[in-house]
Amino acid sequence: MKKKLVAILMIVFVFSFAGTAFAAVTGNPFVDVPANHWSYGAVKKLAAAGIIEGADGRFNGDKTFTRYEIAVMVAKALAKEEKADAEQQALIEKLSAEYRVELQNMGLRLNKVEEKANKVNFYGFLGLRYDYGTGNYFGSAAGIQTEAAHVDTYTTFKIDDNSTVGIENMFQNNLRSTGKIAGSLYDAVNPATSSEYTGGYNQLAYSLFVNTALDKVKFTVGQFAMIPAYGLVESSEDLQGSRVKGVKASYVTGHVTTTLFSGKTLGLYNLSPGKYNMAEIDYALSKVTNVKAAYHNADAANYSELGFDTKLTGDLAFEAAAAKSDLDVAANEGYYAQLKYKQAMFWAVPHSYDLFAGYRKIGTNATLNGGSNSDFNGNYTYDVKGVIVGAHYVPSKMTMLTTWYAVGKTISDNKDKNVFRTQLDFFF
């Protein structure tokens, strides 16, 4: 098993560093911005609105530009920022942050960017959630109501231009349940249902890590949340996921991003702590399509994951992924597909929204810790086959309302497994 993992990691390293000779020189304002960079999409939107022009007075979106040329466009957009709407201002601010060095070298002082570049930054969200489950969704035939409040805070300390220290603290108060809930354990071999709780308890989780860079390689060291590929196998974005502790390294060359992790998982929700290594390759097939693959090596099993996401139209996006473990037991495969219309942008655009619908069939033994989570907290995705429909809506800037309904059956015993959720999040 170890020889197999070492071989895979060697292949990944060779593949990722093959394009080093063609990589851009860090800090060179006259190097071309990669064709798949998000900047082009942002510039195209601002150009369509008449807020941004090319460095030569035109922008046709049919060629690549240098960092300096895009910085010139952004500088012109800053002069028209007062005429921009909320969404356009958010794009200008994001572009200003990306090209801050080039803009400062032009002698521009960017108050908004400078404020965000302070030594200490603090942000997070408060979430209020209500669930109603029927059938066997909570291991009970009766309808079960659960209510919870969730606070997630992030603090970052800037060490220098390349390094920051990050701290994340998560607290959840599971306020109430109308009955006992039998929760399946995230155990790859024996998904028992003996764990019961009735609400009125708290959960805590934290992360402490350092982000830094060495030449073109970015590192994260410490204890942190990690979601490889599409989060189908390992997802630690909430309290029901697993924190990881170790070292993560990422390298970008051309259209390929390679990520390696070595360390261990931390036990939460009955997931035993243990060795965990991961290798991931993301390939930007085009400006609107990405392909991601990941290999996970853990104590009990190895897992493979493959998926892609694409924009079908300007407002319609599609995503799909599949995973499989090498456990010689039932329910060791999983897959999902989701279609999403529009995009709720709580950080910038009041009254924006999106609608989504998906299908998933995910066996308990296909995931490391329950896998993909939904809307910041709560895992209703393992040992299930069925559909989910829902929506996000932004009542006002920095708030978001989430509602979805999942209808399905358990894979293990083919019993009904349904749930309704509504959740309100306040961001700061």
CATH number for 351 = 2.40.160.10
Q: How far is CA 13 from CA 24, 122, 392, in A?
A: 19, 35, 39
Q: How far apart are CA 155 and CA 208, in angstroms?
A: 10
Give the tokens for residue 134.
Answer: 């029927």
In a domain, 172, yes or no: yes
- Segment 77-104 shows an average pLDDT of 83
Q: How confident is the prediction for the chain on average, in pLDDT? A: 77
Are 303 and 392 in a shared domain? Answer: yes
pLDDT tier at 108, thresholds 50, 70, 90: low
**CA dihedral over 221, 121, 155, 170, signed as positive or negative:** negative
Query: Regarding predicted confidence, which is higher, 7 or 237?
Result: 237
Residue 169's DSSP bridge partners are: 153, 206
Are 233 and 262 in a shared domain? Answer: yes
In a domain, 395, yes or no: yes
In a domain, 18, yes or no: no
- Segment 54-76 shows an average pLDDT of 69
pLDDT beyond 60 at 112 = no
Are 53 and 134 in a shared domain? Answer: no
Q: Domain boundary at 116, 133, 154, which?
A: 116
Q: Domain boundary at 89, 116, 143, which?
A: 116
Are 197 and 163 in a shared domain? Answer: yes
Are 199 and 308 in a shared domain? Answer: yes
- Segment 339-354 shows an average pLDDT of 90
In a domain, 23, yes or no: no
Supply angle C-alpha 183, 139, 233, rounded to 5: 50
HSE-up of residue 44 (Cα within 13 Å, Cβ side): 14
Least confident range of 217-221, 224-228, 236-240:
236-240
Task: Let me know how many helices (H) and strands (E) the chain has, helices first.
Answer: 6, 18
HSE-up of residue 168 (Cα within 13 Å, Cβ side): 19
**The most confident of 45-54, 188-197, 225-234, by mean pLDDT:** 225-234
Least confident range of 187-191, 220-224, 265-269, 421-425:
187-191
In a domain, 165, yes or no: yes
Are 353 and 391 in a shared domain? Answer: yes
Reference 337, options 387, 293, 291, 407; nearest CA is 387
Which contacts of 273-276 are long-range, i.e. CB under 8 A and separated by 24 or more positions?
Answer: 274/298, 274/299, 274/300, 275/299, 276/234, 276/244, 276/246, 276/368
Are 234 and 348 in a shared domain? Answer: yes
Q: Domain boundary at 116, 135, 150, which?
A: 116
Query: Residue 198 has what pLDDT?
Result: 53
In a domain, 7, yes or no: no
Give the tokens for residue 238.
Answer: 């909430």
Are 49 and 164 in a shared domain? Answer: no
Are 183 and 317 in a shared domain? Answer: yes
Q: What is the pLDDT of residues 125-147, one digit of tens each?
A: 898 988 887 754 444 545 667 77
Are 408 and 332 in a shared domain? Answer: yes
Domain that holds residue 333: 118-427
In a domain, 377, yes or no: yes
pLDDT beyond 70 at 288 = yes
**The most confident of 30-34, 44-48, 104-108, 404-408, by mean pLDDT:** 404-408
In a domain, 10, yes or no: no
Supply the angle between the helices 38-48 and 67-79 in degrees, to the nearest 10: 40
Are 224 and 364 in a shared domain? Answer: yes
Are 364 and 275 in a shared domain? Answer: yes
Number of domains in the chain: 2
pTM: 0.69
Q: Which amino acid is at 423?
A: Q
Q: How far apart are CA 173 and CA 35, in angstroms?
A: 45
